[in-house]
Structure 1
Amino acid sequence: MDKNNKITPKSGHLLISEPFLQDENFVRSVVLLCESNEKGAFGLVLNKLSILKIRDLLDELDFLDIEVFVGGPVEQNTLHFIYKGSPMIEGSIELAKDLYWGGDFDELVMKYKTGQIDLNNFRFFIGYSGWSEGQLESELTENTWIVCERVDSQAIFEASPDDLWRVALRNMGGDFQVLANYPIDPRLN
């Protein structure tokens, strides 16, 4: 089965790892593509929690007990964020309906401190996932990733990290619903 349906991945699409992928950085991962062009691609793993909280990373938010996700193995000294709802941070990029990436971090902090935003609508990430020119296309040819064009921002924020991979596949319907139930280790089935 060609799981990719010949879809060219674009910003705002999801990359869902195929069930057999053994790369520890991407096992059962769902990656939100934030940027994809002829020079490469940039995305954030949506379902891999770190051991850190936002208070561990930022002095100005040392009172916040908000989870931080591992966006990927690249530059884990960087902090990124996405949010759902309407555009509320200057410089944010709309990735899908009601889903935005990045923006002015100082504005985010100020708006939080003045009660203008609800951080339950935000996800924070250390590091990111990156692909050099042609690398993602090569991985798609090898069926490493399943491309999902329909992003459900509600599922991104409400599904548990352990369930998001299955939820994303189920939401695609058809044969993907069967893959959603595939065991992590079929030998133990």
Structure 2
Amino acid sequence: MNINLDIFKIQSNNVLPSRGKILISEPFLRDATFGRSVILLVDHTEEGTMGLVINKQLPLLLNDVVMEFKYLDEIPLYKGGPVATDTLFYLHTLEKIPGSIPVSKGLFLNGDFEEIKKYILQGNKVNECIRFFLGYSGWESNQLHSEIKENTWLVSKEENSYLMRNDTKDMWKEALEKLGSKYETWSRFPQVPTLN
């Protein structure tokens, strides 16, 4: 019986990164922030890249950080990355927020926070419309391309509805599975094979 051992070779899928695409970490990356992470690229230029880890919820709520939201329904906070962890970032699907930066069609980064607050305090839907992050992930010029060549990341594209959904527990596994059978096999690898 011939076994194709290539399925065990961690190799990037050679898709180029750009704003609005996602990075999916390779299965053995042992890093508290980036292991088993899905990162939405919110900017990608020759000068560098900025992204937000979208599947790592913090044990902290936005209600604990923004006092006006103290008595509202719980609003989760996510760890966007290891840079500027005292700064709030937010992704949203609200087209009319002044100063928002388009990430992809119908998905925006930041904008006038007073308008965001007003929207929330008026009782409008937050779930799957706005996601809040502390910190971001950043790469200097060519750093991300080097990491992709080293097979640290796979690059893919996802629908906004998937990126903004509440249940992020299996997001990394599902993002890999969508890339096909070889990557689906990766999704079942234990992160630390020696503990298996």
Conservation of the 8 A alpha-carbon contact between 2:25 and 2:154: yes
The offset of 1:40, in angstroms, is 0.6
Please say if 1:72 is aligned against 2:81.
yes
Please say if 1:11 is aligned against 2:37.
no
1:41 matched to which residue of 2?
49
Counterparts of 1:165 and 1:17, CA distance in 2:
8
Name the TM-score, length of structure 2 as normaliser.
0.86
Please say if 1:87 is aligned against 2:86.
no
* Aligned residue type for 2:67: D
Secondary structure of the equivalent of 1:162?
coil
* Structure 2 alignment gaps of length 5 or more: 1-8
Name the TM-score, length of structure 1 as normaliser.
0.89
Conservation of the 8 A alpha-carbon contact between 1:42 and 1:130: yes
Counterparts of 1:9 and 1:43, CA distance in 2:
11
Counterparts of 1:98 and 1:3, CA distance in 2:
32
Conservation of the 8 A alpha-carbon contact between 1:82 and 1:102: yes
Counterparts of 2:71 and 2:26, CA distance in 1:
38
Give the share of equivalent positions with the same residue, in percent: 39
Following TM superposition, the consecutive aligned residue runs of length 4 or more in structure 1 with deviations greater than 4 angstroms are: none
Judged with a 3 Å threshold, the aligned counterparts in structure 2 of structure 1 residues 186 and 26 are, in CA distance, closer, same or farther, namely: same
Deviations 1:124-146 (A, max 9, x none): 00001011112111111111111
The offset of 1:161, in angstroms, is 2.7
1:130 matched to which residue of 2?
138
Conservation of the 8 A alpha-carbon contact between 1:96 and 1:151: no
Task: State how many pairs are aligned.
Answer: 186
The offset of 1:123, in angstroms, is 0.8
Secondary structure of the equivalent of 2:98?
coil
The equivalent position to 2:188 in structure 1, one of 165, 170, 181, is 181
2:151 matched to which residue of 1?
143
Please say if 1:152 is aligned against 2:152.
no
Counterparts of 2:176 and 2:20, CA distance in 1:
16
Deviations 1:32-72 (A, max 9, x none): 00001011111100111112111111122222321100100
* Structure 1 alignment gaps of length 5 or more: none
The offset of 1:159, in angstroms, is 6.0
